[in-house]
Structure 1
Amino acid sequence: MKSIVCLHSLTPDQIGQIGQAAPGFDLIVKNKKDVSAEQIQNAEVILGWSKTIAEEALREYSKLKWVQTWSAGVDTLPLERLRDKGVLLTSASGVHAIPISESIIGMMLSFSRQLHMAVRHQLKKEWKSDLAVPGLGTLGEISGKTLVIVGVGEIGRETARLAKAFGLRVIGVRRSDKPEPHVDRMYKMDNLHEALGQGDYIVNILPLTAETRHMFNAAAWNAAKKGAYFINVGRGPTVDTASLINALNSGRLSGAGLDVFEEEPLPAEHPLWEMEQVIITPHVAGSNDRYAERVIDIFADNLKAYVQGQKPPRNLVDYGRMY
């Protein structure tokens, strides 16, 4: 019998959902430590991924034909080996739109209302009505400001929708300049620096590719509007961290909200920890209590097509673009 190996916990309802989509498949639900080499080698479909299963899954004689990741990003997977083996790869892109967009708005509000400084004073039991970071102004508001979203996909669209409700002007940047309902103006990636020069808040939602690595560098900060806030919920290596720290120290940027980093976990001795104008979250912007539910919805839709001999319709990764 053909088999599906899932490396993540599932509820009985989710198991039933997969069973209805692929009644002719045996579903094996085990974590990466308990699944056997034989089960991986015989799996036609793998839901999730781990470095620990890579060698068995990619052996010449393994039966693997399709991997559905549990994550939106695929840059940590062995893309060349999967491509060379002819494996279909689909991501969980789209599951993060609501939690990440809410995290973005939360960081923007925190900077505007200096909530991150209020928490620091609270921990010290200090009553300070002047919450502003020295040299970076006073309490403000996001209404009337301009938000630049770099990488307008599912997350960017939802962020733009929320931003309009707060009265922001929204500029988008992506490969295509095709208009979006809540984006006032869309730029192509070639015009990134022109767009950055208009943003009071700059949000990076780019995937990691050869083209996007260190795209946010000294030249980008110099092109950005002086005093802008930068928020990164895309991929850590799309940012040159050393140049980011320089931009923050010089006042070129007023602050940074960072959920992802070039090195994770961020080392305890890293200077970003000590910077008052920086908000750090440990790569959790996309986490929430509905994550698994949304992944399984994507997987079930793809699975229904797959068992009928069709390519998965949702989030099929283009190996050339790496997303």
Structure 2
Amino acid sequence: MKFTMHPGPWPDVIDEVVAAGHTYVTDPAEAKFLIYNGGRAEGGADGLPSPLPESIGFIQYPFAGVDHLIDSGLIKPGVRWANAGGVYGRPVAEIALSLLLSQLHQVKAAAMAGSFRDRGELDARQGWLFHDTTVALIGAGGIGRELIKLLEPFGVHVIAVNRSGREVPGADETYPMDRAGHVWSRADHFVLTAPLTEDTRGMVDAGVLAKMKPDTVLVNVGRGQLVVTDDLVTALQNGTIAGAAMDVVDPEPLPDGHPLWQLPNATILPHIAATGRIARLLVAPQIIENAAAFERGERMPTEVDAEAGY
């Protein structure tokens, strides 16, 4: 099939898709599918071509989260979209594990202290992943499955929470999201990897934070809006939980001078778990798989369900 990439070509990705038997064209009107690596608008240098040529059978977005595209109206009825759900499981899982460990071991607090004088205080706040530790993965999809593999050497007890309650390989227990209320008070630490939907938006608020253990570390590598930021700041300042470590925040970008930058028990990364650089390395096989399913007249493996939000 003929395809194009808009608004900016990624030569390595194009070369891989061409090697699979497809033909790259620069004119969207000639293309059967479009790889869209732009923002949330139509038209303009960074937006989707407007009007969208009738020849386009589906649009491939090279990242996982599409809630912003749905909210902005860019994903519309009548046009099929596919995302890159699951493609970045391993790199995001690596970030999640590094955030959890760095917050447990007080890396940011030590860097802010700038002195060995605080060694005793830092050690008193230090935590570990021992065999009697329970880690809950909220939204146990591709990232969660990869994280379970990385957690295996630590011997922790893993609780997986997903939408369906379907068993997650490697997890010790699995619960559906709507029957997992007890998990907030039971697990020692949490990793959020859930997509942003109407059901998950603001799911971690003051009430949920109050249920957590005081030595809990909360990690968010899903979507920033899963957490009510003001409630989290209060919980960290008051010692409701021990710490938070996040690659995604709300608002994003996090403004300079925001309390989360200054709190020693909050570790923030600027959304670098799945960037365009890693997308260029990993996304082509998923595009090829989706294109093959489309040609066969089937639902694509990562086809977006606009009503579900992912």
TM-score, structure 2 as length reference:
0.88
Residue 270 (structure 1) aligned to one of 226, 234, 258? 258
Matched, 1:96 2:84: no
CA contact 1:193–1:223 (8 Å) conserved in 2: no
Q: Distance in 1 between matches of 2:37 and 2:11?
A: 19
CA contact 2:148–2:158 (8 Å) conserved in 1: yes
Q: Distance in 1 between matches of 2:107 and 2:301?
A: 39
CA contact 1:175–1:189 (8 Å) conserved in 2: yes
The percent identity for this pair of structures is: 28
Cα drift, residue 302 of structure 1: 1.6
**2:76 is matched with which residue?**
83
**1:21 is matched with which residue?**
20
Q: Distance in 2 between matches of 1:63 and 1:3?
A: 10
Name the CA shift for 1:131/1:75 in 2 (closer, same or farther; >3 Å): farther
AA matched with 2:244: A
CA contact 1:149–1:203 (8 Å) conserved in 2: yes
Gaps of 5+ in 2: none
TM-score, structure 1 as length reference:
0.85
Gaps of 5+ in 1: 29-38
Name the CA shift for 1:131/1:69 in 2 (closer, same or farther; >3 Å): farther
**1:246 is matched with which residue?**
234
Cα drift, residue 77 of structure 1: 1.1
Q: Distance in 2 between matches of 1:194 and 1:104?
A: 23
SS at match of 1:18: helix
**2:102 is matched with which residue?**
110
Q: How does 1:181-220 map to 2 (within 5 A)?
A: 181-220=169-208
**Aligned-pair Cα RMSD in Å:** 2.5
SS at match of 1:177: coil
**1:130 is matched with which residue?**
119
SS at match of 1:193: coil
Q: What is the total number of aligned residue pairs between the two structures?
A: 304
Encode CA deviations 1:47-96: one digit per residue, 9 max, x unaligned.
Answer: 12424762463527643321111111011214655332x11111111222
Bigger RCO of structures 1 and 2 (CA < 8 A, at least 6 apart): 2
Name the CA shift for 1:290/1:50 in 2 (closer, same or farther; >3 Å): closer
Residue 69 (structure 1) aligned to one of 61, 65, 74? 61
Encode CA deviations 1:70-126: one digit per residue, 9 max, x unaligned.
Answer: 111011214655332x111111112221111111111221122222223334xx3x2
Cα drift, residue 271 of structure 1: 1.3
**1:311 is matched with which residue?**
298
CA contact 1:69–1:90 (8 Å) conserved in 2: yes
Q: Distance in 1 between matches of 2:298 and 2:19?
A: 18
Cα drift, residue 225 of structure 1: 2.4
Cα drift, residue 309 of structure 1: 4.2
More displaced stretch, 248-257 vs 138-147:
138-147
CA contact 1:114–1:131 (8 Å) conserved in 2: no
